[in-house]
Amino acid sequence: VSPADWQKSIATNLSANWQLIRCFDALLKLSDAPRALFVTSGVTQRPAPYWGAYAASKAGLEAMVQLYAAENAQSALRVNLVDPG
């Protein structure tokens, strides 16, 4: 995979979601029923040749979202990952 393709996958699937968390966390916590929903992929569980950058970015997303959920477990915020298949 080219460095440009690697960076694009990380920017789209990991960094953009981190930025959304960073920007909306305070607003979510003001809500009566805050929800954060993130889209992942089965490629993290079933690696496929030539999908390395995408799989790594989605695996990173899953780890980040699981940590975000754990950090907010005692709040009203509910954080979910969806794999649409």
- Which residues have a catalytic role annotated? 54
Instruction: Return d(Cα 14, Cα 57) in angstroms, integer.
Output: 6
Q: Could you identify the residue written with the tokens 């477990």?
A: 73
- Assign 42 to helix, strand or coil: helix
